[in-house]
Amino acid sequence: MEHIGFPTETVILFVVIVFASLFLDLYAHKRDEDISLKSACAWTIFWIVLSVAFGLYLYFHHSPEMASLFFTGYVLEKVLSVDNLFVIMAIFSWFSVPEKYRHRVLYWGVLGAIVFRGIFVAIGTELLSFGPYMELVFAALVGYTAVMMLKKRGESEEIKDYSNHIALRMVRKVFPVWPRINGHDFFVKRSWAEEESKKENIPLDGLGRKAAYAVTPLFVCLAVIEVSDVMFAFDSVPAVIAVSREPLIIYSAMIFAILGLRSLYFVLESLSNRLVYLEKAVVVLLFFITAKLLLSGCNHIFGVGFDITPNQSLVIVLGVLVIGIVASLLATRKESAR
């Protein structure tokens, strides 16, 4: 495929929109308040409209192919992120993070995701430049993820214990850990923590650390989420990169999808019991991406196979997503009617 890339003015527009969006979101949710389903839905629609507007800009100012690549990557990242959001729900539950502080943790988690996605996209697209054999390697990675998701569905659901998570162990090596949530603070002064520890007879973990501040459960929760997102990126980035070899196009698609994940989290938290087939739709999409990579790799190496066009990919991704949502709503509607 011929490299398309982004011209300078589009790069500037993308950067301006991202920074303005982050500032808007921080300002709009500067108060610690519970996020209602109505508010979460309104913000989710806003982020989707913003993403569609950027995609239409690409369509009219550049080419339909560029817009198609953007929309396919955007929808795929959005759908694949659903599984990660369910993991985040479990992390919040384990750390007993109050509803009103969850948006703050998610906000800073998204900032980390933006940085790490850029690193992974740069590495992934560079690896694919080594030749079509890398497509087969990526196909194996995505296919393995799909199989593991199927295997996980067959196992009994258990609450994961994060007390020995690698992120928590890393934090403990640097900071003392204050065991109680202190408002929306990620850090508290070490002297205050030591004094409160003596007053209330609460053990302060990691007193041997020389740091001037102790971390709260909110910071530990954020660290666990960041590490979990990095692990998730190992699965999702190869799948999204399969849509295009253009780093800037696919990175912009992923970032626009990530910007709306905070509001989508609160929507999914309210509707998680109704979207029963959404995870199955994610598995189907992962197998589709595996097949796409295998067909493309075999076509380039052995001359057997074919390349799936961006428009065809977009139709398939949207079709699977719609079927998964509609099937979920119909199934839960029948259950509630009984």
The CA-atom distances, in angstroms, between 86 and each of 61, 76, 228, 235, 257 are 37, 17, 11, 15, 16
Do 70 and 252 contact (CB within 8 A), yes or no? yes
Once rounded to an integer, what is the mean pLDDT over residues 60-71? 88
What is the per-residue pLDDT across 26-55, written as a single tens digit (0 to 9) for each? Answer: 887 777 777 888 888 999 999 999 999 999
Q: Could you give the angle at the alpha carbon of 238 between the alpha carbons of 48 and 322, nearest 5°?
A: 40
What is the per-residue pLDDT across 183-224, written as a single tens digit (0 to 9) for each? Answer: 888 998 888 888 888 887 877 776 666 788 889 999 999 999
Is the pLDDT confidence value at 335 over 70? Answer: no
Is the pLDDT confidence value at 307 over 50? Answer: yes
Cα four-point dihedral sign 118, 123, 129, 131: negative
Residues 6+ apart with CB under 8 A from 305: 294, 295, 296, 297, 298, 299
Domain ranges within the chain, ordered by starting residue: 8-157+229-337
Is the pLDDT confidence value at 3 over 60? Answer: no
Question: Over the chain, what is the mean pLDDT?
Answer: 83
Note the pLDDT of residue 52. Answer: 95
- State the DSSP H helix or E strand holding residue 75, giving kind and residue range, or none if neither: helix 64-94
Note the pLDDT of residue 122. Answer: 83
Is the pLDDT confidence value at 1 over 50? Answer: no
Q: Which amino acid is at 28?
A: A
pLDDT-derived band of residue 330, with 50, 70 and 90 as boundaries?
A: confident
pLDDT-derived band of residue 2, with 50, 70 and 90 as boundaries?
A: very low
Residue indicated by tokens 């190992």: 234
Question: Highest-confidence range of 45-59, 147-161, 243-257, 271-285, by mean pLDDT?
Answer: 45-59
- Burial bucket for residue 230 (CB in 10 Å: 0-12, 13-18, 19+): middle
Whose CA is closest to 222, among 260, 274, 171, 267?
Answer: 171
Distance (Å, whole) CA 108 – CA 47: 17
